[in-house]
Structures are given as C-alpha cells and as structure tokens.
Structure 1
C-alpha cells in the first residue's frame, strides 16, 4: 500500500493563525482563504499546477499590512511540504520549469536538498498587485524555501506586467515542485543522495 504523503499544520503566533492541509498526490484542488485576494489567486495556481490538494486558512493582522500573513503562510506551507515528504525516499528530488504568461517568462529550479536557500531575481515596477504588496512575493518564496528546507532559484527571464510576472513565478514553482516530489520508479525507494540522507 502506498504511503500517505499528506500533512496538516496549525501554526499560531501573536500575529497569525494558520491552518494548512496538503496532499502531494492530489488533483490540484484548492480551498484558499488568506484575506488577500491576489495571494489566494497565487496559491490556487500553485496547487493547480503542482497537482497538490491544498487547503489554507489564514487569520492575520491585516489591519497592519499583509506581511505577517504572507510570510507566515510561506513558513506553514514549507512545514507542510517537509512533513508530507518524510525522508524523501524515492522522489526525483530535482525539479525545474520555465513558464510563460503572455510577455512574462519565469524559471524555477528546485532541489529538495535539506539545505534552505533562495535565489530570487525578479523586478516589479509597481508597489502592489491588487491587495498584495509586490515585495511580499519574494518574502513568501523565502519563507517557504527556508521552512521546507529546499533550494529554490526563481528567475524572471522576461516580463513587463507585474501580475503576469508574479503568476508565472508561482506557476513555475508549482511545476518544478511537481517534478521534484514525484516518485521515481527507477529509484526503487532509495534516498536520492550519495550521503544516504536528505
């Protein structure tokens, strides 16, 4: 019987109360409620294109701004991914994707390395997309990569429209994660590292 690759996280701080359920072997179903419409849109796209089933409920201090809600969601989602992967036995480990959205083109490269790192190279020419501060896009990716203990390189290859750039980045991450977490039939359940641990 196939092992379950699911996780449930409930993370509470003085700033946020976040509940996440994640199924890596889902069909892309999403139920996202963060209080930030554009962020909901991005997380829905992430679930859809990674083929993760994802439920996210965030109660945050939006009367201040969106920073705590977005960053803490990245932390909680990273925790969920790490928990769902377990010892990462039998996964492909590496994933990459180039995703266009009209004039925008973004690349994501993922290594489920156990070594958290973010290299982010994208430029937003306005301060907000809908109700989301554009600087929080990078903050989400950083929080997610650090908490999930993975290496993530996200690069804008082309783009002018800020909505398109952000969405292409989230979709590229989704496709790269889908590849990285996918079971590798040739690996025969082994740990994909010469160290024997990830």
Structure 2
C-alpha cells in the first residue's frame, strides 16, 4: 500500500505468474501511444494497440497462458494486470481530473465510455453483440476483460454501444473510447485529490 499512497508517478510495472498465465506489463500514462504487445490472442492485441494509440499511453505486454484450453484466463489476467498497473501509476490520484468521457464513432457504430477513477470498482456494459465470436475471439470475453480492468483499476467503468451492426466495429469503438476517456481522466488538473473526502480509495 505504501506505493499507492504516493503522488502519481504515471508509470508502473506489473508481473503476474500463476499456473494458468505468466504476464509482464509496463504502462506509461504520459506516453506517446507506443504499444509493444507479445501474447497469443490476436484480437485483444489489436484492441489494446488501439487503446494505447487513442489514449496516448505506452503499453508493453509480454504474456503466455493456457490458450490451448481457451483464451479466457489470459484475457482476464491481462485485464487484471492493466488495472493493477493503473492503480499503482496513479498513486493517491492527487492533481488528476478523475473523470473521463468519450463518444467514439466507428463507421456505422457509436460507442461511449464514461469512467470515474473513484477507488470504488463498478462495471456496466450495454452492448448487443450478435456473434459468439469475432474471428476466433469469444465475444463474451470482451466483458471479462473490461470487468477485470475496472476491478483492479478501482474505477467505475460504464461502457455502451449506442448503436451498430458490425461486432468488430462495436468492440473497436469501445476500446478507442476507453483509451480517450482514460486519457482525459488522468490529465493534470489542480493540486489536491479530486474528492470532497480528501481520498479516492
């Protein structure tokens, strides 16, 4: 907890090793949109590249896992590691905006992300996906990733696909909106912790 009580450093390194996954992750919230992603889930690699570019974050992930079973454990654990890195990087959150919001069009689709770095995990996803898979990626894992990120990132994360037809476009819109909204939320704004309670935890 000592690290999390410090002022934001905006960078964090996280490592997670279990019987199911092995993950090393680095996050720089004041980066330039550079993504170096090496793990065997191509669709999630694509989505996290978009997240990094649209959030202007530097994100490095080296990971392996039991994808011979399915992608679930690796997708979930990468979300957990990203959330943990965000929590460490923001410390006590002094001087950041705290809230972020973005509507993002992706061709015929319109996606929305609204988030609060409140310290209280909450997650809502409103999206009517019509396919069980996008390529080889199980569509149900979209929610699992975002839920893991929200829980370990200790944020209230509200995502919605307002309308759209193409499932790939829907998910792409959500990841782009997340990156842009999070960028807004972590931008410097003032000096103190943005809460009437004096803490965000």
After TM superposition, the score normalised by the length of structure 2 is 0.95
Q: Deviations over 1:86-129 (max 9, x none)?
A: 11000000000000000111100010000000011011111111
Aligned to 2:138: 133
Q: For structure 1, which runs of at least 5 residues remain unmatched after alignment?
A: none
Distance, in Å, in 1 between the alignment partners of 2:100 and 2:166 is 26
Aligned to 1:38: 43
Q: For structure 2, which runs of at least 5 residues remain unmatched after alignment?
A: 1-6
Distance, in Å, in 1 between the alignment partners of 2:113 and 2:61 is 23
Shift of 1:34: 2.1
1:60 pairs with 2:60 = no
Report if the CA contact (8 A) 1:37-1:130 is conserved: no
SS at match of 1:154: strand
Aligned to 1:70: 75
Q: After the TM superposition, which residues 115-194 of structure 1 pair with which residues of structure 2 at under 5 Å, given as runs?
A: 115-184=120-189, 187=190, 189-194=191-196
Shift of 1:132: 1.1
**Over aligned residues, Cα RMSD in angstroms?**
1.1
Shift of 1:131: 2.3
Aligned to 1:87: 92
Distance, in Å, in 1 between the alignment partners of 2:75 and 2:38 is 12
Shift of 1:4: 3.4
In structure 2, do the counterparts of structure 1 residues 66 and 193 end up closer, same or farther at CA, with 3 Å as the change threshold? Answer: same
Shift of 1:5: 1.5
Distance, in Å, in 2 between the alignment partners of 1:53 and 1:197 is 27
Q: Deviations over 1:144-195 (max 9, x none)?
A: 00010000000110111000000000001111100001111xx1x2000000
Aligned to 2:117: 112
Please list every run of at least 4 consecutive aligned residues from structure 1 whose deviation after the TM superposition is greater than 3 angstroms: none
Shift of 1:3: 6.5
